[in-house]
Structure 1
Amino acid sequence: MRAAGRHPAALLALFAAVCGSRAEVIDDVLTSVSRGASFLEQQHEHINLDGVVGFVLLQAQLKEAVRTWPHSDPVSWAQRTTAVALVKRLDQSLEKAVAALQQIDPTYYREFEPLLSPSFWLLPQGRSSTDPSLVYVSSPASECYDEQLSDKCLTLLLGTWKMNGTPCIVTKPCRDTMTRFGCPHYSLSHQLLYFMIGRMRGCTNLLKGDTRASRANMTESSYERIFCSNMMKTNQDIVTDGLSKQMVDIFIENILICGLAGFPDFYKADWLQHLLRQQDEEVGCFGRDESFISQMIGDELLEQLQPHRRVKRREKVLPDGCSSHMTAVAIGALGGYLNHYLSEQDITKRPLS
C-alpha cells in the first residue's frame, strides 16, 4: 500500500522531467533556427533557390507552430514569443531573398515561384509510419534520375512549364521515372518530393495511365510510404556507418522530406543532435567547409566569364564556405522538429484565438 501511495507522485515527477527535457529541446531548436535566420539576413543576396525554399519551409512550420502553440506555462509562452519574433525576421529576409532570385535568374524563378510561398506547403495532418518490409532488396550505387528531367517534371505539375501553362501534367517519362523502384539517395528523395508537390498543387490521379498489372492497387500514398521506408533504412545505415561528411546532406534531406510527408518516426531525438552539430556557430549555416572557399572564388570568376553557365543547385557553395543545400534542408527539418515536439507536448493542440 505504501508503494502504491507513492506511485502517483513518481509519475508526476517523471512527467515533469519529460516536459522539462522537451522544453530544453525546443529551446535548442529555437536557438539554432535563430542563428539560421541571422545567416539568411546576411546572405539573402547569395542563397540559391533551393536554399530559399528551405527557409520558406521553416517559415511555414513556424507560422503553424505559433498558431497552435500549447496553452501551458510561462516558459512555453516565452518560447512562443521567440517564435513570433522569428516569423517577423524571416518575413523581411525572405522578401529580400526572393527579390534577389528574381533578378539573378528570372526564368528559373518563374518556373519554381509557387514553391517560394509558405502557403504552398501543406503541413501533414495525419501520421504514417515506415515499414521495414517495404525496403528494397538492393539499390544501385549511382543515382537513377536526371536533374533536368526532374525539374521538367515538377514544372509540368506546377503549371509553370510555360506562361499560363496547364498544371498537373504527367508525361510517361515523368511517371516512369518517379515510380521506379530501387533508386537510392537523391533520386529517392526527389521521387517522394514529386508526389508531395503534386498533392500540394492539388493534382489528383498522378498515376493515371499506368497500365502495369503489378501496380494496379498502388496509390500516391503507397508510393510515399515505400519511398520513406527506404529513406528510413538509408538514414539508419548512415548513422551506423558513422555519419560521414559525404552522407550528411542526404541524411538531413530525408528527415526534412519524410517529416513533411507525415512520417514522424524520422524526428528521432538522436538524429536531432546529429543535425544540430552540423551548424556552424559563427555564421549559423550548415555544412560549412573552409577548404571550399578558395575553390568557390575560382568558380565565381568562371561564372563571371561564362554568365550563362548554370551550376547545379545542390552544389552551391556560399562565400563563407557554407553549403546552400545543406543549410536549406537542415533549417526546414528544424521547423519540422519544432512542430513535432510541440504536438508531443500537447496532443490537443487547439488553435489560439
Structure 2
Amino acid sequence: IYFLFCLDACIALLGEHPIAEGSHKVEITCKTPKKCKDGISNGSDFGYGLTHRVLYLLLSRFARGCSVFSLKEDKFKLDKYCMRAFNEAQFIAGQGYKKPDLMMEQIVICTLIGHAQFLQVDWIKHFLTYQTSSGCFTDDSSLLGVNELPMVEVPGDDWTLSNNVIMNGACNGHTTAVASAMLASVLRYILEHNNSSTT
C-alpha cells in the first residue's frame, strides 16, 4: 500500500510537469524524481502497483509528451509490465475472477498500447455480468439484482436518490469507470480491425 501511495504521489507530481511541445520531433525526458524512477523500475510486479507503473509511463508519454527513461526503454518497460499484467489476469480468471476491478484495469491500460491479447471474449462476457440494472458496475456480485435505485418522492417533477453516493453499494465508481473504458477498448479494437479489412 505504501508503494501504491508513493506512485500515486508521483502521478500527481507528473501532472505538474509542463506539456512538451513538439515532442514528436525530438525526444524530451520528463523531470522525474529519483524516487519515482525507482518505483517505476523496481516497484510491485502485481496488482494495482503494476498497473500504476504502466499508467505512469503512459501518462508521461501521452499526457505530457515526454519519456521517463528514454522512448526505447519506456516502451520496453511497458511491454514487459503488460506481459506480467496479462499473466496475472490469466491467474485471476483461473481463480474465479475474484479481482474484477483490477483485471478490468489491466485490460484497459494495456490495450491502450496495443496489447490485444487482453481482449478475451470469455473475460469480457464475464465482466458484463457485473453491470447492475442502473447501468453502472459493481465488483460485488452479491449485490447484483438488488434494487439499487430507491427513489424518494419530492414535490414537483424532481426526484433524488436516497443514497446518491453509491446507490446502496451497487454502484462502484472506479469499477464503472474501468468497465466503461474496457468496453471502449473492445469497441476501438472492433472498429480498427473492421476498417482495416475493408480498406
Normalised by the length of structure 2, the TM-score is 0.74
Q: AA paired with 1:169?
A: K
Match of 1:320 among 153, 168, 177: 168
Alpha-carbon distance, 1:274 to partner: 1.2
Is structure 2 residue 3 aligned with structure 1 residue 145?
A: yes
Find the partner of 1:207 among 61, 69, 84: 69
1:261 aligns with 2:110: no
In structure 1, list runs of 5 or more residues that go unmatched.
1-142, 162-166, 209-216, 292-316
Instruction: Using the TM superposition, give the Cα deviation of residue 160 of structure 1 relative to its aligned residue in structure 2, in angstroms.
Output: 6.3
Q: Which has the higher contact order (CA 8 A, sep 6+)?
A: 1
Alignment partners' CA distance in 2, 1:252 and 1:158: 24
What secondary structure does 2:3 align onto? coil
* Match 1:285 to one of 136, 144, 154: 136
User: Which of 207, 224, 235 is the aligned partner of 2:89?
Assistant: 235
Matched, 1:338 2:187: yes
* Structure 2 match to 1:193: 55
CA gap of 1:168–1:158, structure 2 versus 1, over 3 A, is farther
Aligned ranges for residues 152-167 of structure 1 at < 5 Å? 152-159=9-16
Structure 2 residues not aligned, in runs of 5+? 19-28, 144-164
* Other-structure match for 1:249: 101
1:296 matched to which residue of 2?
none
Distance 2:102 2:139 in 1: 16
TM-superposed CA distance for 1:203, in Å, is 3.5
**1:100-119 correspondence runs (5 A):** none
1:219 maps to 2:73: yes
Q: How does 1:40-79 map to 2 (within 5 A)?
A: none
Question: Residue 3 of structure 2 contacts residue 49 of structure 2 at CA under 8 Å; is this kept in 1?
Answer: yes
| Pair 1:174–1:348, CA change in 2 (3 A) | same
Report deviation, 1:176.
0.3
The structure-2 alpha-carbon separation of the partners of 1:203 and 1:179, relative to structure 1 and needing over 3 Å to count, comes to: farther
| 177 and 270 in structure 1: CA distance in 2 versus 1, 3 angstrom threshold | same
- Give the superposition deviation at 1:348: 5.0
SS of the residue 1:204 aligns to: coil
User: Shift of the alpha carbon at 1:342?
Assistant: 1.9
Give the secondary structure class of the aligned counterpart of 2:196.
Answer: coil
Structure 1 residues 345 and 203, CA gap change in structure 2 (3 angstroms): closer
**Cα deviation per residue 1:50-99 (whole Å; 9 max; x = unaligned)?**
xxxxxxxxxxxxxxxxxxxxxxxxxxxxxxxxxxxxxxxxxxxxxxxxxx
Letter in 2 for 1:145: F
Q: Larger Cα Rg: Structure 1 or Structure 2?
A: 1
Mark the CA change 1:204 to 1:252 in structure 2 (over 3 Å): closer, same or farther. Answer: same
SS of 2:60's partner is: helix
Note if contact 1:156-1:168 (Cα within 8 Å) is conserved in structure 2: no
How many Å separate the matches in 2 of 1:152 and 1:272? 31
Distance 1:144 1:187, change over 3 A: farther
Distance 1:144 1:196 in 2: 22
Aligned length: 166
Runs in 1 of length 4+ with deviation above 3 angstroms?
288-291
